[in-house]
Chains A and B, each alone.
Chain A
Amino acid sequence: MKPSKLLRLPAVLACLGVASAHAAWQTNLTPGVTEVGESVYQLHMIIFWICVAIGVVVFGVMFWSIINHRKSKGAKPAQFHESTTVEILWTIIPFVILIAMAVPATGTLIKMYDASDAAVDIKVTGYQWKWKYDYLNEEVGFFSNLSTSQDQIYNRDEKGENYLLEVDEPLVIPVGKKVRFLVTANDVIHSWWVPDLAVKRDAIPGFVNEAWTQAEKVGVYRGQCAELCGKDHGFMPIVVKVVSEPEYKEWVLAKQEVARQEYELKNKEWTLDELMTRGEKTYGTYCAGCHQPDGAGLPPAFPALKGSQIAKGPIESHADIVLHGKAGTAMQAFASQLNEVDIAAVVTYERNAWGNSMGDMLTPQQVAAMKNK
C-alpha cells in the first residue's frame, strides 16, 4: 500500500466512524453504549494514531529515499552501515511509546474484570447453534434462535433489514444497571459477542466465564457468535433489547406468566392436529437446520427423517433419540432444551409429516414419564 492511501485512511475513518452502527461502509469500531466501550474505543483510536504517526515517519524516510536516492538520478551510494547510537535510540524510543500505550490499557482491563455488585445475573449458554439465557434470580429462562428464514438465506425470498441478525426471543436487560453474564456452553466452544456492549467472552463447556455490561442507552443491539462452532456458526446471532427499568420488570412478570401457562399445557389433552401444528413450528426452529424443512436431511452427517427407520419405527425409540441424542453423531439431546409439549409435538410431527403418515402420536404426559424414568 502506498503511504498516500495510509494517510487517507484516518480521514476516511474520521468521517465514517461516527456513522450509525448498521450503516453500510462502516469502517470503524463502535464506541457502543457503555462506559467501558467508550474507553475501549478511545484506546483503539490512540493506538491507531500512534501507528499512523510512526508510519508517516518510517514510510516518509523510505519514500524520500525511493524518490531522491535513485540510481537513475545519479545517486552515489553512501557506505555507512552501522551506528550503535542510532540502534540504541530506536530501541528505546519505541519502548517508551509502548509503556505509554500500556498504562491506559491496563486501567481499562482492570475495570473490565470487576464484575462485582451486579443488579442482574444472567447465565448465557451456547448450544449448536443457538443461545440460552437463564435469569438466575428471576427464574426466567429461554432459548434464542435465529429467526431469519431459510428462504431468505437461500435467496428464494428478499432479505430483510436485519438479515441474520434477528432472533425469535431477544435478551432483555434494564438500562443503567450493571448486568453480569455467566457464560458457558453445552457442546463446543462458542463466543458471546455484542460490539455495542463491549462484551466478548468465550462460552466453553465445563467453564463458567464472567463478563459484565452496563448499557446507558435504551435500544436494540445486535451481535454474533464469534468462535467457530460448526456448521451453523454464522447463524446464531445475539439480540439484546435494553429497556427502561419499569419495562424490564413488566417483561419479567410476563415471562413468568408464560412459563406458568406452558407448565399447564403439559397436562392438557392434546389432539393429533394440535400437536402437528405446534410440532411444525418447533421442527422449523430446532430441527430443520440439519434435517432440512422437507425432512430430506443432509446425508451422511444429518440423515433424512422422511421415510426413515426411526420416524417409522417404534415411537419409544424415536422419542428416546430426540430426548437423549445419539452418541457419536451430531444429534443432540433435547431433553433439557425443549419442554414436554414441544418434544411430544415434534416427535408426532416427524411421524406424520412428509408422507411418513404413521397416524400415531406422543403426548406430553408420555414424554414426562420417559423423562422421569
Chain B
Amino acid sequence: MSAVIESDHHDHHHGPAKGLMRWVLTTNHKDIGSMYLWFSFIMFLIGGTMALIIRAELFEPGMQIVKPEFFNQMTTMHGLIMVFGAVMPAFVGLANWLIPMMVGAPDMALPRMNNWSFWILPFAFGLLLSTLFMDGGGPNFGWTFYAPLSTTYAPPSVTFFIFAVHMMGVSSIMGAINVIATILNLRAPGMTYMKMPLFVWTWLITAFLLIAVMPVLAGVVTMMLMDIHFGTSFFNAEGGGDPVLFQHVFWFFGHPEVYIMILPAFGIASAIIPTFSRKPLFGYPSMVYATASIAILSFIVWAHHMFTVGLPLAGELFFMYATMLIAVPTGVKIFNWVATMFRGSLTFETPMLFSIAFVILFTIGGFSGLMLAIAPVDFQYHDTYFVVAHFHYVLVPGAIFSIFAAAYFWLPKWTGHMYNETLGKVHFWMSFIGLNLTFFPMHFVGLAGMPRRIPDYALQFADFNQISSVGAFIFGTTQLLFLFIVIQCIRGGKKASAQVWEGADGLEWTLPSPAPYHSFAQPPVIK
C-alpha cells in the first residue's frame, strides 16, 4: 500500500489537465478507457435505435414505416455499429481501465499510441454514419457485405464505408499491440503468466486474434476498392474473378472476430462469478487452455458460414467436424463456472445477476450454434431468423451482458461510489425479460421458414414478430436507465471501500476507490 500512498502524492503534480484538452491530449489509461466506454455507449444507443426502426417495420406484415432500401441500410448499419462501434470499443475501454490495475502497472505500455487509437474512432464512425446522408444512401449490403452486391451493385457511398473500416482496423490493431506490450512487459515482479487474472489472459489472446485478422479485413475491403475503382476483378465473375473468394477471406476474418467479441466476456465472468460465490475460480489452468484452444480453433472453422455456397463434400465435412469441436473447450468453461458456484456462498448483486444470465443465455446460444454446425441441417437453418436468434443470444447476453456486469462490478472502483443496487436490479430484470421476448421467438420463425434481412414477411410469421418487436422496445428503453444509474454513480452515492466486494480478489482491489490517476507508480508486492 505504500506504493499507492506515494502515487497519491504524485497526483498533486501530475493529475489530469483541466478542460477539454484533458480529453484530447490525454495519455492516461483511465481517461482513455472512459472515453472508449462512453463512445461505445453512444454507439450502442445509435445502433440500438436502428434496431428499433427495424423492429418497428417488422411489427406487422406490409411496408409501413420505411422503404425496403432504407430497411437494408438499417440492418447493415445496425450490425456494423454494434460489432465495431459498441462491443469492440467497450472491451478495449475495459482493457484500458483494468489491465494496468490488474497486472500492477502504472499505465498502458504505449500511452501516446493509446490516445491515437481512441481518437481515430469518432472520425471512422462519423464517416460511416455520414454515408446515410449521401446520394444513393449508406451501405445496404448487410454487415457481411458480400460481393458483388457490395462492389458492382453497391451505392457510391461504399468507398466511404471502406475507408471507415480501414480506420477502425488501424485503431483495433494499435489497441491490440498496446494490450500485448502492456501484458508482456509491465507485469509487476512476481505476476507470472499463470497468476494473471483471466480477464488479462483472455484479452492477451484476443489481442493476438485482432492482430492476426484485422489485416485480413483490411485486405478484403482493399480488394473491393480495387474492383470498384481500378477495374480489377477479384470478386467479379465476368472478369474471371470469384464472388466466393470474398466470403472465404471475409469469414477468415469474421470467425475469429466473433471470438474477439466473446473471449474478454469470458474473462469478466471469470472475475465476477468467484467474487459473489466467495470461492476461487474452479479450474483456472483449464480456463486458460480452453481460451487458447477456442482461439486456435477459430482459424479453421470459417467456412461453416458458407455451407450453402457449394463447397465440396470433403470441405463440408472438415468444417462441420472442426466447428463441432469448439463445443468441447466452450463446454469446459461453462462447467468450470458452474463448479465455481457449486457449494459457494452466493449473493446476487447486479454484476452477479448479469453474469449468471450470461452463462445461461450464452449456453443457449451455444446450443443453437452446435445445431448450426451440423452441415446437412444447416441447409435448413442458414440465413433464417434461427441464425439471427443464435448470434443475438451469444452477442447480447454474451458480450453486452458481460459489459454491463463489468461496469457494475468495477464502477465503485472507478468512481469511488456505489451505484444504486435497486435500480441496477431493475435494469437487469427489464433487460433480461426484454431480451428473451425479442430473441427467443426468432428461433421459432426461423425454423418455420422466415429468411433474415427481409423488410416484409408472409402472414404466418406475424404473431412471433409482434412479440419480438415489443421485447425490443422494452430492452431498448431500459438502457436509458443504465445511463441514469451510471451518471448517478459518478455524481455521488455511498462511498466505496478499497475492497468494494466482500469476495473480491485481485490487485485492483488493493488500490483505493476511486483508483488514483496513475495506478501503480511503484510495483506492488505479489503474494
> Which A residues contact B (CB, under 8 angstroms)?
1, 3, 5-6, 21-30, 39-40, 43-44, 47-48, 51, 54-55, 58-59, 61-62, 64-66, 69-72, 75-83, 86-87, 90-91, 94-95, 98, 101-102, 105-106, 108-110, 112-113, 128, 152-155, 159, 161-165, 187-189, 191, 193, 195, 198-202, 204-207, 209-210, 223-235, 298, 300-301, 330
Q: Pick from B308, B321, B452 the residue with the most CB of A within 10 Å.
A: B308
CB distance from A187 to the nearest CB of B (A): 7
Task: Considering the complex, give the chain A residue whose CB is closest to the CB of B446.
Answer: A29
| CB-CB under 8 A for A25 and B325, given A81-B283, A90-B331, A188-B153 | no
The A-contacting residues of B in range 220-278, CB under 8 angstroms, are 237-238, 241-244, 277-278
Prevailing SS type, chain B contact patch: helix
Known: A188-B148, A195-B449, A234-B455. 10 other contacts (CB 8 A): A25-B444, A65-B338, A71-B278, A71-B347, A75-B343, A75-B346, A80-B343, A94-B331, A109-B316, A204-B243
Q: Pick from B67, B242, B346, B367 the residue with the most CB of A within 10 Å.
A: B346
Per a CB cutoff under 8 Å, which of A3, A82, A154, A161 touches B285? A82
As a 0/1 sequence over residues 36 to 76 of chain B, the CB contacts with chain A under 8 angstroms (1 = contact) are 00000000000000000000000001111001110010000
Q: In the assembled complex, which residues on chain B have CB atoms less than 8 Å from the CB atom of A229?
A: 149
Give complex CA distance A105, B359 in Å: 28
Q: In the assembled complex, which residues on chain A have CB atoms less than 8 Å from the CB atom of B26?
A: none
Cβ-defined contact, A228 with B146, below 8 A: yes
CB distance from B370 to the nearest CB of A (A): 7
| CB-CB under 8 A for A71 and B346, given A228-B141, A228-B453, A232-B68 | yes
Task: Considering the complex, give the chain B residue whose CB is closest to the CB of A30.
Answer: B449
As a 0/1 sequence over residues 288 to 331 of chain B, the CB contacts with chain A under 8 angstroms (1 = contact) are 00000000000000000000111001001100110011011001
Cβ-defined contact, B61 with A159, below 8 A: yes
B196 at interface by CB-CB < 8 Å: no
Q: In the assembled complex, which residues on chain B have CB atoms less than 8 Å from the CB atom of A223?
A: 449
Task: Considering the complex, give the chain A residue whose CB is closest to the CB of B246.
Answer: A189
B176 at interface by CB-CB < 8 Å: no
| CB-CB under 8 A for A26 and B356, given A44-B377, A113-B313, A300-B136 | no
Cβ-defined contact, B456 with A153, below 8 A: yes
Give complex CA distance A201, B378 in Å: 11
Task: Considering the complex, give the chain B residue whose CB is closest to the CB of A90.
Answer: B335
Cβ-defined contact, B345 with A76, below 8 A: yes
The A-contacting residues of B in range 343-394, CB under 8 angstroms, are 343-347, 356, 359-361, 363-364, 367, 370-371, 374-377, 379-380, 382-384
Give complex CA distance A37, B241 in Å: 34
15 pairs, CB–CB < 8 Å, chain A vs chain B:
A62-B338, A66-B346, A72-B347, A82-B283, A154-B63, A155-B63, A198-B380, A201-B310, A202-B310, A224-B449, A228-B453, A230-B72, A234-B451, A234-B454, A298-B67
Give complex CA distance A37, B377 in Å: 9
B282 at interface by CB-CB < 8 Å: yes
Cβ-defined contact, A24 with B62, below 8 A: no
Cβ-defined contact, B279 with A79, below 8 A: yes
Task: Considering the complex, give the chain B residue whose CB is closest to the CB of A152.
Answer: B62
Stretch at the interface among B16-24, B101-109, B459-467: B459-467
Q: In the assembled complex, which residues on chain B have CB atoms less than 8 Å from the CB atom of A26?
A: 444, 447-449, 460
CB distance from A189 to the nearest CB of B (A): 6
CB distance from B501 to the nearest CB of A (A): 12
Task: Considering the complex, give the chain A residue whose CB is closest to the CB of B146.
Answer: A189
Task: Considering the complex, give the chain B residue whose CB is closest to the CB of A2.
Answer: B360
CB distance from B39 to the nearest CB of A (A): 29
Q: Pick from A43, A61, A65, A199 the residue with the most CB of B within 10 Å.
A: A65
Cβ-defined contact, B149 with A105, below 8 A: no
Q: In the assembled complex, which residues on chain A have CB atoms less than 8 Å from the CB atom of B284?
A: 81-82
Give complex CA distance A76, B324 in Å: 38
Cβ-defined contact, B153 with A207, below 8 A: no
Cβ-defined contact, A105 with B376, below 8 A: yes
CB distance from A19 to the nearest CB of B (A): 10
Per a CB cutoff under 8 Å, which of A161, A207, A233, A330 touches B459? A161
CB distance from B156 to the nearest CB of A (A): 9
Task: Considering the complex, give the chain B residue whose CB is closest to the CB of A66.
Answer: B346
As a 0/1 sequence over residues 65 to 102 of chain B, the CB contacts with chain A under 8 angstroms (1 = contact) are 00111001000000000000000000000000000000
- What is the size category of the interface that chain B forms with chain A? 35 or more
Q: In the assembled complex, which residues on chain B have CB atoms less than 8 Å from the CB atom of A210?
A: 310
CB distance from A326 to the nearest CB of B (A): 13
| CB-CB under 8 A for A105 and B375, given A198-B380, A200-B380, A234-B455 | yes
Q: In the assembled complex, which residues on chain A have CB atoms less than 8 Å from the CB atom of B430?
A: none
Cβ-defined contact, A162 with B458, below 8 A: yes
B119 at interface by CB-CB < 8 Å: no
Cβ-defined contact, B282 with A224, below 8 A: no
B281 at interface by CB-CB < 8 Å: yes
Give complex CA distance A112, B375 in Å: 11
CB distance from A364 to the nearest CB of B (A): 29
Q: In the assembled complex, which residues on chain A have CB atoms less than 8 Å from the CB atom of B375?
A: 105, 109
B440 at interface by CB-CB < 8 Å: yes
Cβ-defined contact, A98 with B327, below 8 A: yes
Per a CB cutoff under 8 Å, which of A21, A39, A65, A153 touches B343? A65
Give complex CA distance A188, B278 in Å: 56
Cβ-defined contact, A228 with B142, below 8 A: yes
Cβ-defined contact, A231 with B451, below 8 A: no
Q: In the assembled complex, which residues on chain A have CB atoms less than 8 Å from the CB atom of B308?
A: 191, 200-202, 226
Q: In the assembled complex, which residues on chain B have CB atoms less than 8 Å from the CB atom of A78?
A: 279, 343-344
| CB-CB under 8 A for A187 and B458, given A61-B342, A82-B282, A204-B243 | no
Q: In the assembled complex, which residues on chain B have CB atoms less than 8 Å from the CB atom of A113?
A: 313, 316
CB distance from B67 to the nearest CB of A (A): 7
Cβ-defined contact, A65 with B345, below 8 A: no
Q: In the assembled complex, which residues on chain A have CB atoms less than 8 Å from the CB atom of B374?
A: 43-44, 47, 101, 105
Cβ-defined contact, B345 with A48, below 8 A: no
Cβ-defined contact, A112 with B370, below 8 A: no
Q: In the assembled complex, which residues on chain B have CB atoms less than 8 Å from the CB atom of A128?
A: 153
Per a CB cutoff under 8 Å, which of A1, A5, A154, A226 touches B384? A226
Per a CB cutoff under 8 Å, which of A27, A86, A98, A102 touches B339? A86
Cβ-defined contact, B328 with A94, below 8 A: yes
CB distance from B431 to the nearest CB of A (A): 13
Give complex CA distance A25, B309 in Å: 30
Cβ-defined contact, A44 with B380, below 8 A: yes
Q: In the assembled complex, which residues on chain A have CB atoms less than 8 Å from the CB atom of B340?
A: 81
| CB-CB under 8 A for A58 and B335, given A29-B380, A72-B347, A78-B344 | yes
Q: In the assembled complex, which residues on chain B have CB atoms less than 8 Å from the CB atom of A189?
A: 146, 148-149, 243
Q: In the assembled complex, which residues on chain B have CB atoms less than 8 Å from the CB atom of A1?
A: 360-361, 364, 436, 440
Give complex CA distance A224, B372 in Å: 20
Q: In the assembled complex, which residues on chain B have CB atoms less than 8 Å from the CB atom of A225?
A: 451
B488 at interface by CB-CB < 8 Å: no
